[in-house]
Amino acid sequence: MCPFAPRGARMISSRIGAALALVLSIAALGLAIAAFMATVRDESIKPGRVVQTRVNTDYQGGPVLFPLDDFYIGYNSRLEFSAFYVHPPGYYGHQRGCKVVWDSDATIETDAGEEGPGLYVDPCGGARFNRDGELIDGPADRGLDYFGTEAGVDGVFVDTRTLFCGASLSDEISATLTPAITPTADVTETSTPVPTATVFGTLASPSPSTTATETATATSTATLPPDETQTATPEPTECERVSPNSKQR
């Protein structure tokens, strides 16, 4: 028995070594497949998530940046919360990957007066946007793109799964147009006197001999149907996010 023991031990050792090599090869193949699948994007899965910001009405400061989700949240001019995408629309934001910053001291003179203090500023192209995300000055295609918000118990929720396009200049101009429709109608009614009548030889009491003239002037302001409000509000349009291949600055 003893002369055969070393040979049997060698066979067992070789089989164990082959099994370990096979297991390691399978594990390496699995890691390679996982690494490859990580580089493949499923276009059917929308990016983004619902973020609870913990920012509520008790907060009185300027817009707060959420860098992991690429948005600022802060008060607009109506004292409501707005969540703006950090990448400004246009070449500098979507090609070069630039991001706006909130400058609490920035002001700018416009035809309507001074905007600020407090503006979103694109450090690459120099575009400036007010608290409502409207384009005030500089190279950009439209106002800042934005995410939907919803009030929560512990703070505002921001849904970053859908990005909406900011207002274009043509939208802002058309939204300020208010139609003035004030038709005036004059209605004049004249009553015709009833002639006297004789009933069984007795003269009946005549109707009033005077001609009664009633003039009514109706002035009304036309009310537009429910689907045609005086202040045009364009439907929100979904926008594309910045490509991962954009050069970050």
Q: Is residue 15 part of a domain?
A: no
Which residue range forms the structural domain that includes residue 101? 50-175
Q: What is the pLDDT of residues 170-217, one digit of tens each?
A: 665 555 444 444 444 444 444 444 444 433 333 344 444 444 444 444
**Cα distance between residue 35 and residue 20, in whole Å:** 23
> Closest by alpha carbon to 98, among 90, 110, 108?
90
Count of structural domains within the chain: 1
What's the chain's average pLDDT? 76
Q: Is residue 102 part of a domain?
A: yes
Q: Is residue 126 part of a domain?
A: yes
What's the rounded mean pLDDT across residues 119-133?
Answer: 95
The one-letter amino acid code at 64 reads V
Q: Are 238 and 162 spatial neighbours (Cβ–Cβ below 8 Å)?
A: yes
Q: Is residue 221 part of a domain?
A: no
Q: What is the CATH number of the domain that holds 111?
A: 2.102.10.10
Q: Is residue 123 part of a domain?
A: yes
For the cut 80, the answer to whether the pLDDT of residue 145 exceeds it is yes
Q: What is the pLDDT of residues 99-111, one digit of tens each?
A: 999 999 999 998 8
pLDDT at 128: 96
Q: Is residue 122 part of a domain?
A: yes
